[in-house]
Amino acid sequence: MKTAITVFYDIRELEGTGLQALRFAEFMRKSHCVTIISGTNKSFRPSKITEILIIRICAVAMRAILWNLKLIYFLLKNSYDIVYCSNDYLGFTTIYVISKIRKYKLAYEAHGIMAAEFKEQHYPKILVDICESLEKFICRHADYVVALAPNIFQYFHTHSSKPDNVELLHIFVDDSLFVPAEKDNGVSNLRLIGMIGPFDSPRKSKNLHFLYDNLDRFDGRIHFVIIGHCGERISSQRIEYTGYLDSMAQYAICLSRLNAVLIPETIATTGPLNKIIQPMSCAIPVFTTPKGMLGLSQIEIGRDIFVFEADKLVEKVNELIFNTEILMAVGKNARKVVEQYYSKKANTEKLGKIVGDLEIIVKDNRLHGLRNSK
């Protein structure tokens, strides 16, 4: 079978939406011919991903319009059995219309509830209403939905025209790459805390400003590592900037240096955050807020992760970061939770079921077509 996976964002950035698409494609290519259609508005860098064909779609201005025009071109030019939209709500309507011509089946991978996130960020009501209408359109017209968290599953299952075809798949990481590293927290008084980017949107930059605004309140023995692209830099001996990391291996090495990760989310996302699961896989304690925890139902606060309101984070980091025993216990528990729920191995059976379900839908469609032709 031939499958196209559409990702509006740049797949080569190896983050968020693109990461999940790559994980799914890696599994799917065992039995499918897989093409990833990915968008970018950045200068071309040769892809390091060789197993899967990646089509570069450059959308510099009016990105959503250009993205949809490119989708029309590729999907009409090529023949697919399945088109899998990896959180591609901007392209879904176009892909749905073309499915009536090309007769492929349409799956949607939901990473969040967009209307709820727009409302949380105080977008104009008209935009929230448009988003809600679009999501309900997806619910009615997707042949299959994969939801990455229980709250997302509940939303799409409730509104779907085919609730039996809505499946929960936990976000997962490569726990053979993100592994615990030996470190002796007692050798030095210095503690390294990471903040994970990129910081290229208003919501993400709020986390960065939290650090800048509170830097003098953190214990002087705490230094920070800003991981990923960061356009807003300040001069401080206590802050190190890694810049863009072009491989997951480099990122894993960078994480292994840290004593903890700080994710001071003040704006809730409805989907789970990779930047929480990846450090946990490395047995690195994560400090976050209740809004950063949404979508991670299998993680227990206080045992597997530190969760405090934003106005208490600095105080609690200062209090706990030098307690080696507590840090090690939370880190070990975090790794166990990842292995049990958020690892490749833990999700292999569910991935197999999803691919099998999609194949059944395609075969049923072909059978229906043959009957109609007779």
Could you write out the three-class secondary structure of the chain?
Answer: CEEEEEECCCHHHCCHHHHHHHHHHHHHCCCCEEEEEEEECCCCCCCCCCCCEEEEEECCCCHHHHHHHHHHHHHHHCCCCEEEEECCCCCHHHHHHHHHHHCCEEEEEECCCHHHHHHHCCCCHHHHHHHHHHHHHHHHHCCEEEECCHHHHHHHHHHCCCHHHEEECCCCECCCCCCCCCCCCCCCCCEEEEEECCCCCHHHHHHHHHHHHHHHHCCCCEEEEEEECCCCCCCCCCEEEEECCCCHHHHHHHHHCCCEEEECCCCCCCCCCHHHHHHHHCCCCEEECHHHCCCCCCCCECCCEEECCHHHHHHHHHHHCCCHHHHHHHHHHHHHHHHHHHEHHHHHHHHHHHHHHHHHHHHHHHHHHHHHHC
Query: Cα(295)–Cα(112) distance, rounded to whole angstroms?
Result: 9
Q: Which residues, in sequence order, are bridge partners of residue 239?
A: 224
Region 129-135: what's the mean pLDDT? 93
CB–CB of 131/86 below 8 Å?
A: no
Give residues with Cβ within 8 angstroms of 234, minimum separation 6. Answer: 212
| pLDDT band per the 50, 70, 90 thresholds, residue 65 | confident
Region 163-186: what's the mean pLDDT? 85
Residue 134 CA to its chain's centroid (Å): 20
2-172+344-373: CATH architecture:
3-Layer(aba) Sandwich (3.40)
- Nearest to 274, CA basis, from 338, 203, 224, 205: 338
Region 123-130: what's the mean pLDDT? 90
Is the model more confident about 21 or about 330? 330
CB–CB of 36/25 below 8 Å?
A: yes
pLDDT digits (tens, 9 = 90+) for 183-207: 655 557 899 999 998 787 766 788 8
Query: Cα(110)–Cα(193) distance, rounded to whole angstroms?
Result: 31
CB–CB of 81/104 below 8 Å?
A: yes
Q: Is the pLDDT of residue 362 over 60?
A: yes
Q: How far does the chain reach from its first CA to its final CA, in angstroms?
A: 24
Q: Is the pLDDT of residue 64 over 90?
A: no
Residue 210 CB neighbour total at 10 angstroms: 20
Give the CA angle between residues 72, 171, 110 to the nearest 5°. Answer: 35
Reported pTM: 0.86
pLDDT digits (tens, 9 = 90+) for 274-296: 889 999 999 999 999 998 888 78
For 262, the token pair is 């700080």
Q: Is the pLDDT of residue 34 over 70?
A: yes
pLDDT digits (tens, 9 = 90+) for 235-269: 999 999 998 887 888 999 999 999 999 999 887 77
pLDDT digits (tens, 9 = 90+) for 9-25: 777 665 666 778 888 88
Q: Which residues, in sequence order, are bridge partners of residue 305?
A: 301
Lowest-pLDDT choice from 82-91, 119-128, 353-362 = 119-128
Q: What is the pLDDT, as a whole number, of residue 95?
A: 97
The yes/no answer on whether domain 191-342 falls in CATH 3.40.50.1100 is no
pLDDT digits (tens, 9 = 90+) for 48-59: 443 445 555 554
| pLDDT band per the 50, 70, 90 thresholds, residue 353 | very high
Is the model more confident about 327 or about 8? 327
Range(s) of the chain covered by CATH 3.40.50.2000: 2-172+344-373, 191-342
Region 323-331: what's the mean pLDDT? 95
For 299, the token pair is 């993680």
